Chains A and B, each alone.
Chain A
Amino acid sequence: MTISAVEEKVVYQRPESLSDVPTHYCPGCTHGIAHRLVAEVLDELGVRERTIGIAPVGCSVFAYKYFNVDSAVAAHGRAPAMATGIKRVLPDRVVFTYQGDGDLAAIGLAEIVHAATRGENITTIFINNAIYGMTGGQMAPTTLPGQHTTSSPGGRDIEITGFPVRMAELLAGLTGTAYVARRSLHNVKEINRAKKAIRTAFETQLAGLGFAMVELLSSCPTNWHLSPPEALQWIEDYMVPYYPLSDYKVIEPVQDLMKR
């Protein structure tokens, strides 16, 4: 009796754009998923060798260790300014920023708004987990009304602190932006949709169409004091209603890209 060779096919492996190192992210945090999606897109577009990533200050400050691309770490909130400097002198490179909500929506609001309104030809991946993760769970500009954090211990009181910022809607209102979308990482279907949006955001840059941002609703089980499955459910139950998942800005040439 002869045994025919079993045909093996690789169906899943680490993207080349991700480094082969363990990350420091907490169990159940969705930063890892966001990293992988970006890396898969860079691989698929074949641009890893000409990509420069800018890490923020916050939980993803070590993103430069995880993306297998040239990287810099910006000062808190300044990644879009740094990316502007790089892209203006190396226009044929792919430049992206990876920023959290404290970094992008609080201290770096001026930099992201002006990079977007200038139509800088860069891509921004914005992780919205409604909290300051790295410093231990303080109120972020994206913290939901009533949400308990260490600096809003009684729950976010909108009478005192005002309202959460909807960044995708805000940037979509600027004439300079080409593609702005919000996606979520709380289940497989949404993760697949998120990857498509990330791909469109990078394709927008490759086509020279201008500024693109994908906001990703992300979980923080540690600082939300929830288990990882509960945290994913919390995104669906509480974050998605306040932060609707949608394409907020798709200029016509980007629509053509998406049809292809």
Chain B
Amino acid sequence: MAVELMKGNVALAEAAICAGVQAYFGYPITPQTELLEHMAKRMPELGRAFVQAESEVAAINMVYGAACAGVRAMTSSSSPGISLMQEGFSYIAASEVPCVVVDVMRGGPGLGNIQPSQSDYFQLTRSAGHGDYHAIALAPASVQEAIDLMGLAFDLADKYRHLVFVVADGLIGQMMEPAELPPMQPITRRHDDWALTGADGRAPHVITSLQLNAPDLEALNQRLQAKLRIIHDTEQRSTEMLTDDAQLVVVGFGTAGRIAQTAVQQARREGMKVGLFRPITLWPFPEKRLSALADQVSAFLVVEMNTGQMIEDVRLAAGGQVPVTFYGRTGGVVPVPEEIYDAIRDLYRKLQSRPARE
């Protein structure tokens, strides 16, 4: 495949098609609608399933159905629509069927606005639906990374029979960048050992999240947690820049991390020992690497397009070893590199005026 100029939402859709998605169900909502529109054209062309659902509630339950049939299935939405899908997320996680959900986040709470935001961090990493579990959440910072993570999302969903979010924001969804798609994967039958395909020559398969007997439900939860522990231990992903000798590390995911990169480079030109840490998995949060960095640096500066959500995970990873400070814009306001640079410079000066860390 050649490098071409692609809009983020279209790239996400086409990357899912390349990854072998066989069923897409969705409902229009800005700023992700181009994803649905691209699927409306492409999926029927390829003989794959596309339904514009009557609501996000219906869309996620259609995904649940198709996923129960053992095919790669997905939906996409934006923050208010993701709130409506919470019911389905919980059932999908409980019954351990794989599926992928794209959230192109916008400003909230409520109807909010249609500008880029990262205010769904809690919603996606803490409790994507009722119950006692975490979903996997992958956060790209460019159109190319959105494409790459889309393929990974389907692989992780299948590998762990779990719900995987691709967490973008309105900026990544709407912007155009040069990017390259992967080769088209062949469609293969999956999950013959549990999928609902008809009890022909075998005992019936049943997919349910219902366990009325408390010890049975506890056992199901323990099994889920054992799986999540493996994911937690093996799937943490992050990227970093200029951290080797950094005294101050800026932590930001997705678009905020990308804007912070420019600010960090500016600070380096000014002679400040500043680095950037960008989580790619929001859950599992890349705490192992961040915890190691906490042994080295004097402080973290968390930058988010919300009022401070991921900062809780950074604090947990830092374990009280170093100060964790915050700079954020919210409500659809996208920070410019200069204001992040100012926050870096102010914190860095404060650190310089303190006695050096032993």
Write the residues of chain A forming the contact surface with B, with a CB cutoff of 8 angstroms: 48-52, 54-55, 61, 64-65, 67-75, 78, 81-86, 88-90, 93, 110-111, 113-114, 118
Could you tell me if A84 and B198 are in contact, using CB atoms closer than 8 angstroms? no
Across the A-B interface, the 7 shortest Cβ-Cβ residue pairs: A85-B65, A81-B61, A82-B65, A85-B66, A85-B62, A49-B200, A50-B198
Partner of B66, one of A49, A51, A88: A88
Partner of A81, one of B53, B69, B197, B210: B53
Cβ contacts under 8 Å, B69 to chain A: 52, 85-86, 89-90
CB distance from A96 to the nearest CB of B (A): 12
Could you tell me if B205 and A78 are in contact, using CB atoms closer than 8 angstroms? no
18 A/B residue pairs, CB under 8 Å, sorted by A: A49-B200, A50-B198, A51-B198, A68-B199, A69-B199, A70-B196, A70-B206, A72-B206, A72-B207, A78-B57, A81-B64, A82-B61, A82-B62, A84-B62, A85-B61, A86-B69, A89-B71, A118-B51
Most buried by B among A74, A84, A88, A110: A88
Could you tell me if B208 and A73 are in contact, using CB atoms closer than 8 angstroms? yes
Count of inter-chain pairs, beta carbons less than 8 A: 129
Considering the chains assembled together, what is the distance between the CA atoms of A90 and B87 in angstroms? 24
Could you tell me if B49 and A114 are in contact, using CB atoms closer than 8 angstroms? no
Could you tell me if A61 and B210 are in contact, using CB atoms closer than 8 angstroms? yes
Could you tell me if B58 and A83 are in contact, using CB atoms closer than 8 angstroms? no
Considering the chains assembled together, what is the distance between the CA atoms of A82 and B196 in angstroms? 12
Q: Is B73 positioned at the interface, with any CB of A under 8 Å from its CB?
A: yes
Could you tell me if A69 and B207 are in contact, using CB atoms closer than 8 angstroms? no
Considering the chains assembled together, what is the distance between the CA atoms of A73 and B92 in angstroms? 11
Q: Is B67 positioned at the interface, with any CB of A under 8 Å from its CB?
A: yes
Considering the chains assembled together, what is the distance between the CA atoms of A71 and B210 in angstroms? 13
Could you tell me if B25 and A70 are in contact, using CB atoms closer than 8 angstroms? no
CB distance from A114 to the nearest CB of B (A): 4
Cβ contacts under 8 Å, A84 to chain B: 25, 51, 58, 62, 65
Convert B54-79 into 0s and 1s, putting 1 for each residue whose CB lies closer than 8 angstroms to a CB of A: 11011101111111110101000000
Cβ contacts under 8 Å, B87 to chain A: 75, 78
Could you tell me if B204 and A71 are in contact, using CB atoms closer than 8 angstroms? yes
Q: Is B116 positioned at the interface, with any CB of A under 8 Å from its CB?
A: no
Instruction: Please classify how large the interface on chain B is, using the bins under 10, 10 to 19, 20 to 34, 35 or more.
Output: 35 or more
Partner of B204, one of A55, A68, A82, A111: A68
Could you tell me if B58 and A69 are in contact, using CB atoms closer than 8 angstroms? no
Considering the chains assembled together, what is the distance between the CA atoms of A132 and B10 in angstroms? 45
| CB nearest to A79 among chain B residues | B61
Could you tell me if A72 and B65 are in contact, using CB atoms closer than 8 angstroms? yes
Convert B84-104 into 0s and 1s, putting 1 for each residue whose CB lies closer than 8 angstroms to a CB of A: 000110010001000000000
Q: Given the known A-B contacts A82-B62, A85-B66, are A64 and B51 also in contact in the complex, defined by CB atoms under 8 Å? A: no
Q: Is B110 positioned at the interface, with any CB of A under 8 Å from its CB?
A: no
Cβ contacts under 8 Å, B61 to chain A: 74-75, 78, 81-82, 85, 111
Could you tell me if A110 and B58 are in contact, using CB atoms closer than 8 angstroms? yes
Q: Is B222 positioned at the interface, with any CB of A under 8 Å from its CB?
A: no
Partner of A93, one of B55, B91, B95, B197: B197
Considering the chains assembled together, what is the distance between the CA atoms of A48 and B201 in angstroms? 11
Cβ contacts under 8 Å, B142 to chain A: none
Q: Given the known A-B contacts A61-B210, A75-B91, are A70 and B65 also in contact in the complex, defined by CB atoms under 8 Å? A: no
Could you tell me if A86 and B196 are in contact, using CB atoms closer than 8 angstroms? yes
Could you tell me if B209 and A73 are in contact, using CB atoms closer than 8 angstroms? yes
Considering the chains assembled together, what is the distance between the CA atoms of A65 and B204 in angstroms? 10
Q: Is B23 positioned at the interface, with any CB of A under 8 Å from its CB?
A: yes
Considering the chains assembled together, what is the distance between the CA atoms of A73 and B95 in angstroms? 10
Considering the chains assembled together, what is the distance between the CA atoms of A89 and B63 in angstroms? 11
Convert B257-270 into 0s and 1s, putting 1 for each residue whose CB lies closer than 8 angstroms to a CB of A: 00000000000000
Could you tell me if B58 and A70 are in contact, using CB atoms closer than 8 angstroms? no
CB distance from A251 to the nearest CB of B (A): 22
Partner of B22, one of A65, A78, A89, A111: A89
Partner of A85, one of B54, B73, B198, B206: B73
Considering the chains assembled together, what is the distance between the CA atoms of A224 and B71 in angstroms? 44
Could you tell me if B198 and A82 are in contact, using CB atoms closer than 8 angstroms? no
Partner of B54, one of A49, A71, A72, A111: A111
Partner of B206, one of A64, A78, A86: A64
Could you tell me if B23 and A88 are in contact, using CB atoms closer than 8 angstroms? yes
Cβ contacts under 8 Å, A52 to chain B: 69, 196-198
Convert B23-66 into 0s and 1s, putting 1 for each residue whose CB lies closer than 8 angstroms to a CB of A: 10100000000000000000000000101011101110111111
| CB nearest to B208 among chain A residues | A73
Q: Given the known A-B contacts A52-B196, A69-B204, A70-B198, are A111 and B58 also in contact in the complex, defined by CB atoms under 8 Å? A: yes
Considering the chains assembled together, what is the distance between the CA atoms of A50 and B205 in angstroms? 12
Partner of B64, one of A55, A71, A85, A110: A85
| CB nearest to A93 among chain B residues | B198
Convert B107-135 into 0s and 1s, putting 1 for each residue whose CB lies closer than 8 angstroms to a CB of A: 00000000000000000000000000000
CB distance from B81 to the nearest CB of A (A): 15
Could you tell me if B25 and A85 are in contact, using CB atoms closer than 8 angstroms? yes
